[in-house]
A and B are shown apart, each in its own frame.
Chain A
Amino acid sequence: MKKSIGVRIWRISIIAVVSFYLLMPLYAMFDFSTKQFGLGGKSRNLDSWRIIPSQPDLAIAITRSLLTALIVMALILFLIVPTAIWVHLKLPLLRRPFELLCLLPLAIPAIVIVVGIAPLYRWISINLTESPITLSGVYSMLILPYTYRSLSAALDAVDIHTLAEAARTLGASIGRVIFGIIMPTIKTGIINGSFIAIALVLGEYTISNILNYKTFQVVIAQIGRANGNVAVAVSLASLLFVLFLLLLIPNKKRLGTVLDVDVK
């Protein structure tokens, strides 16, 4: 289809303006992280990138946050997904309440959840453990709407009732039906949910900062107070890491499920 000159000018100028807005701060991060401050600092170098590995707390925080992400993924896999399948299969009356429960976090901003959950985490850190990994509990609830959406779309696309009955008739146990038969057929939905889990855990600041847990973002903010260059370098590195993760996931299926994700 031939496009008129007017449309083409519009298109180019929109792309130029928005790309400038979105890409300039990213370039500025790179620029800032290679700058030399202080006297005689004319030349550029990668010093602040080089000292990333030697930052105190950073390696620990990354390990912890990745571990937390793993636990959130496990919770999705062994608690949320089986329950969603169970409700779809056996408890049609509960479908509506279950959906409402899963969508509830959309109405409760993270900053409000913190207010409500602070006493629980105070109790946990006094009586059980002070490890930030316990945050996986509240994180898995925060992403519930997105998990639910990708799951329910996947579950509706497959006739799981026929699959389940066929498997049962052939003698499979109910555990086998859920984990061995149905879960593999909704793999894409589960993978999408897991990606969102990683993105959320690595990017979460609100809850962990207010509850005084040293997660990845909290540590970056800490580094930023001491050494801006390094903090900017770490931020850019983690942004590129998430972009890399995203490009690993097949492109077409992802768009629908990353819709209205919010972790700020």
Chain B
Amino acid sequence: MTQIPIQGTGPAISRTSSRYWRSKSAYLGVLPFLLFSGLFLLYPTWNVISGAFQDESGKFGTKVLVEVFNSSSARAGFRNSLEISAQTAIAGSILGGLFAWAMVSGKQGGFFYRYSVALSSVLAQFGGVMLTFAFLATFGFNGLVSTFAIKYAPGSFLAESSWLYGKAGIAVLYTFFQIPLMVLVFLPTLENMKTQWREASDALGGKTYEYWLRVGIPILTPSFAGAGLLLFVNSFSAYATAATLINLSDFLTPLAIATALTSEVGGANPAEAKSLSAYMVIVVVIAMSCYALLRRKVSKWEQSR
């Protein structure tokens, strides 16, 4: 992410000084894109950030930010969001990481490998409405598993579908798209591990567990943690899945934002939506910065891909 542009900059500078490319008017070339992104990207970003520092009447101040910070429902939503994101990031990165290892340790380019990659790319995107339906068809009323459970284990929680509409349900749904995302993010790392490392360890008399403990895990830790952060952000920003699954309007921060923005019975409060959004952006920016730092730490062997 950071290495590639730097490599290219060298020739770019020296070539640009050639006589074909010297003109101030060249800057006009980026104008259409700048206008477009200004309208659809910079304006909304600015609108949210500046709006967070205004009260309902548009006066500058941190009143709404403080109000939101002290509101117990906003705090509860934020806590739920953080908790679920952390849980699903951990579960997703462990299961997805192990699955990626299982893929790499099989035959490369084989049937299982190719279909796992294709299916992962699709399922990592499989959020929102369709994911909700898939799990309603599994655990919901009249679903595959719940029908089965009613027949054979009437007392168990699976027989009742109510658990699906709470924290546990959301975590199970989110983990569904976290696993394939982890597979996609982590697979290149595992593929770039050199077989020579394993051979060297074997030759020196290392056992399998010693190889993983002393070589494998230390080398993989930075990219594993980075992938985990990416998964965290992924589920922290998710809205559609939760919105179609449950009706609790401020259970998670994204839901609370949507409610504050759209509530039609006089409760619409754009200032509150902007403040909540600002807090969300802060969390995402922190996580993404850590991700960028970790990526920089990932040593040369992986960057070579």
Q: Which residues of A contact B (CB under 8 A)?
A: 3-4, 6-7, 10-11, 14-15, 17-18, 21-22, 24-29, 31-33, 35, 37, 75, 79-80, 83, 86-92, 94-96, 98-99, 101, 104-120, 137-138, 140-141, 144, 149, 152-153, 155-156, 159, 161, 165, 168, 199, 203, 205-206, 209-210, 217, 220-221, 224, 228, 231-232, 235, 238-239, 242-243, 246-247, 251, 254-256, 258-264
Instruction: List the B residue with the shortest CB-CB distance to A139.
Output: B40
* B244 at interface by CB-CB < 8 Å: yes
CA distance A3 to B208 in the complex (A): 10
Taking a contact as CB atoms under 8 Å apart, the answer to whether B39 and A120 are in contact is yes
Q: How far is the CB of B120 from chain A (nearest CB, A)?
A: 9
Q: Which of B92-146 contact A (CB under 8 A)?
A: 95-96, 98-99, 101-102, 105-106, 114, 117-119, 121-130, 133-138, 142-145
CA distance A254 to B237 in the complex (A): 25
CA distance A260 to B47 in the complex (A): 27
Taking a contact as CB atoms under 8 Å apart, the answer to whether B43 and A205 are in contact is no
Taking a contact as CB atoms under 8 Å apart, the answer to whether B12 and A95 are in contact is yes
B32: A residues at CB distance < 8 A:
79, 83
Q: How far is the CB of B214 from chain A (nearest CB, A)?
A: 17
Instruction: List the A residue with the shortest CB-CB distance to B174.
Output: A264
Interface secondary structure of A, over-half rule: helix
Which of B16-24, B54-62, B69-77, B152-160 contacts its partner?
B16-24
CA distance A85 to B305 in the complex (A): 23
Instruction: List the A residue with the shortest CB-CB distance to B191.
Output: A255
* B273 at interface by CB-CB < 8 Å: yes
A114: B residues at CB distance < 8 A:
258, 261
Known contacts being A91-B30, A152-B4, is A110 close to B239, with CB within 8 Å?
yes
* B221 at interface by CB-CB < 8 Å: no
CA distance A115 to B44 in the complex (A): 7
CA distance A113 to B127 in the complex (A): 18
Known contacts being A22-B179, A79-B32, A217-B129, is A90 close to B21, with CB within 8 Å?
yes
B106: A residues at CB distance < 8 A:
11
- A-B CB pair tally, cutoff 8 Å: 295
* B37 at interface by CB-CB < 8 Å: yes
Instruction: List the A residue with the shortest CB-CB distance to B46.
Output: A116
Taking a contact as CB atoms under 8 Å apart, the answer to whether B185 and A259 are in contact is yes
* B228 at interface by CB-CB < 8 Å: no
CA distance A199 to B177 in the complex (A): 15
* B288 at interface by CB-CB < 8 Å: yes
A–B complex contacts, Cβ < 8 Å, 11 sampled: A35-B142, A91-B26, A114-B261, A117-B40, A118-B261, A119-B47, A120-B40, A209-B240, A224-B129, A260-B181, A264-B128
Taking a contact as CB atoms under 8 Å apart, the answer to whether B239 and A115 are in contact is no
Known contacts being A235-B129, A239-B122, A255-B188, is A111 close to B277, with CB within 8 Å?
yes
Complex partner residue of B133 from A15, A116, A117, A232, CB under 8 angstroms = A232
Interface secondary structure of B, over-half rule: helix
A155: B residues at CB distance < 8 A:
8
The 6 closest A-B pairs by CB, nearest first: A116-B44, A109-B237, A264-B127, A32-B137, A205-B240, A235-B130
CA distance A21 to B284 in the complex (A): 28
* B66 at interface by CB-CB < 8 Å: no
Known contacts being A25-B176, A220-B129, is A112 close to B257, with CB within 8 Å?
yes
Instruction: List the B residue with the shortest CB-CB distance to A222.
Output: B129
B251: A residues at CB distance < 8 A:
none
Taking a contact as CB atoms under 8 Å apart, the answer to whether A90 and B237 are in contact is no
* B230 at interface by CB-CB < 8 Å: yes
Q: Which of B194-247 contact A (CB under 8 A)?
A: 208, 230, 233-234, 236-241, 243-244
Taking a contact as CB atoms under 8 Å apart, the answer to whether B125 and A256 are in contact is no
Taking a contact as CB atoms under 8 Å apart, the answer to whether A209 and B243 are in contact is yes
